[in-house]
Structure 1
């Protein structure tokens, strides 16, 4: 199957601190792909470069070298006009639902903005807003209320509805549940799964939490210091990690049962020692 998103040998660097400081290379030859209707989980600690990948795909940071192709078209140096056209097919859900919505606009106006920008008439936009609120399990009366009247989980549902407004092929989800409590996280992840099953949308799901990614992703890519250190099917990566950094992320993931956590740690340590001896 031809990838929907294809990133090849991507390099991104930022200016160093100080006038004569060398540039800091944030991404070093990153390659990954996402197929239509698939979720790729991109996992790494803070500063690993995972969010920079998402921002590069969205055209929010300049690419030093390498290529980004979306639906068979190069977009790594897309013009503003091209990016505006891309917004119908490529959308984003940001981390913080408290700041990603305009606090001065009622929810209905927030959802209408991308529709009207693409030439959708007011009556059609009103019908689409009702459909979107139904899709994310929010009451239609929410259209007339301000974001501050909703909880964090409800605001993230509204943000997801906005991302779905133009029926995109791919949504970049940048830590979309990290600001939510565990119960709300589960509900939002379940919603994202249902939306994917009914619409066929693909996700680039960025997170620091391998446990969260495991419940949603078909494949997982682990990034460390700007490089992909492990990449494969979710079960393979999370149950039989090859790279020490992936093991570290797994051990850092919370487990309710202390005995199970201890047994998992001992098993990983034992396997790592055996590989080192071999």
Structure 2
């Protein structure tokens, strides 16, 4: 089966004031995502993982390398082509409190991407109930505003908006990091259920390897703009080969205080060894 998305030797520099070339954010990144697969992209803040997601969506322009979607090179796709690709490539952002327009009712928020792709407003609004049902929200949520929902409910609305156009790929940029642990599990289970029913692929960006273990098929670990480890989720999370991956595993939250104490001791031992 051909890959849905392929990234080859991707480099990216952001412009910097007063400098001919800014710092290199992505340094030769290569990875792929198959149809119906979740690739967990893990790294700490500043590792380049969000920049990679932005490059896939056309929100950041690579310096060199290629991004191929369904066999088409979209590295520097035109604005017109990107608008067309929005039907197949969507995003769920980190913060459900700021990713939804507070002035719009949920019905308008969910109808907006459908109308933007040419659907009549009346038909788009008719589809809102089905979208809410898909993410486990009642039909009467359509006439409410984002401020009337909890964080987990708002993220369900954001997911409903992302799946409205039946995309093939969704970039999930830290979609549960602003939620408490119990709500995280509910949202992650929802994403898994949607994948099983629709066959959508996820590029799942996070700093938390415990989240990746729950939702991903494969893992790619980023450190300072480079991939330092990739592999099946069980291999990477159980027997990591890179010290940076081990640090991320030891930093993952746990409700068990004894386990948390053991992890702190292990992190100190790892730092001392280096």
Which range, TM-score by smaller chain? over 0.9
Where 2:248 maps in the other structure, the secondary structure is helix
Q: What are the within-5 Å matches in structure 2 for residues 45-124 of structure 1?
A: 45-124=44-123
CA distance in 2, matches of 1:99, 1:263: 36
Equivalent residue, structure 2, for 1:179: 178
Residue by residue, what CA displacement relative to the aligned partner does 1:186-238 show, whole Å, maximum 9, x if unpaired? 10001001110111101000000010111000000000000000000000000
Summarize the Cα distance change of 1:59–1:272 in structure 2 as closer, same or farther, 3 Å threshold: same
Equivalent residue, structure 2, for 1:152: 151
CA distance in 2, matches of 1:147, 1:256: 30
Larger mean Cα displacement after TM superposition, 20-29 or 109-118 = 20-29
- Aligned residue pairs, count: 274
- Does the 8 A contact of 2:247 with 2:267 survive in 1? no
Question: What 5-or-longer segments of structure 2 have no aligned partner?
Answer: none
Shift of 1:266: 7.5
Where 1:126 maps in the other structure, the secondary structure is helix
Asked if 1:132 corresponds to 2:131, the answer is yes
Asked if 1:8 corresponds to 2:8, the answer is yes
Summarize the Cα distance change of 1:248–1:73 in structure 2 as closer, same or farther, 3 Å threshold: same
Question: What 5-or-longer segments of structure 1 have no aligned partner?
Answer: none
Where 1:230 maps in the other structure, the secondary structure is strand
**TM-score using structure 2 length:** 0.94
**TM-score using structure 1 length:** 0.93
Asked if 1:189 corresponds to 2:173, the answer is no
Equivalent residue, structure 1, for 2:43: 44
Shift of 1:127: 2.9
CA distance in 2, matches of 1:89, 1:55: 15
CA distance in 1, matches of 2:244, 2:103: 43
Asked if 1:30 corresponds to 2:29, the answer is yes
Equivalent residue, structure 2, for 1:19: 18
Asked if 1:164 corresponds to 2:182, the answer is no
Summarize the Cα distance change of 1:267–1:96 in structure 2 as closer, same or farther, 3 Å threshold: closer
RMSD in angstroms over aligned alpha carbons?
2.1
Shift of 1:114: 1.0
Where 1:47 maps in the other structure, the secondary structure is coil
- Does the 8 A contact of 2:94 with 2:176 survive in 1? yes
- Does the 8 A contact of 2:37 with 2:217 survive in 1? yes
Shift of 1:120: 1.7
CA distance in 2, matches of 1:208, 1:264: 17
Where 1:254 maps in the other structure, the secondary structure is coil
Shift of 1:267: 8.1
Larger mean Cα displacement after TM superposition, 116-125 or 90-99 = 116-125
Shift of 1:121: 2.7
Asked if 1:211 corresponds to 2:221, the answer is no
Larger mean Cα displacement after TM superposition, 264-273 or 72-81 = 264-273
Summarize the Cα distance change of 1:268–1:110 in structure 2 as closer, same or farther, 3 Å threshold: closer
Shift of 1:126: 2.6
CA distance in 2, matches of 1:82, 1:21: 30
- Does the 8 A contact of 2:5 with 2:32 survive in 1? yes
Residue by residue, what CA displacement relative to the aligned partner does 1:113-162 show, whole Å, maximum 9, x if unpaired? 11112222334323321110000011111111111111111111000000
Summarize the Cα distance change of 1:140–1:227 in structure 2 as closer, same or farther, 3 Å threshold: same
CA distance in 2, matches of 1:178, 1:241: 23
